[in-house]
Amino acid sequence: MEPPRIRSYVVTSNGKVSGIAGALLVIAVGALLVAFGLTLLAGLAVVGTASVLGVVAYRRVRGGIRRAIGRPDPHGPSRELDPANEVLPPAQAPKRLDGH
């Protein structure tokens, strides 16, 4: 049984000039790929910044920016505890352990 054949491609150059041109072509393609990747990263940064600024503007308009950063709202309701608002279970007589 004969092993399967694998296609292979070979680039040959007949002179020094064509080899240099091929190397420059490979470098240019690599530089284009790097530039494309950096452009995508810059676009992602812009979209992320715009999203965060939109959320901050929304919270500022709605009045939630102080709450979001952990500061109390000076115009809002008091967040202090009020003992008058406690809900307690109804008072019951203590149960005896002897069953009576």
4: in domain = no
Give the tens place of pLDDT for each residue, 71-89.
Answer: 666 666 666 777 777 787 7
What pLDDT score does 6 carry?
Answer: 87
**CA-based angle 60:63:66, to the nearest 5?**
80
10: in domain = no
64: in domain = yes
8: in domain = no
Q: Which pTM was predicted?
A: 0.47
> Which residues fall within 8 angstroms of residue 76, CB to CB, at 6 or more apart?
63
What is the domain extent for residue 59? 35-73
Tokens of 41: 């990263």
What pLDDT score does 47 carry?
Answer: 97
Alpha carbon distance, N-terminus to C-terminus of the chain = 96
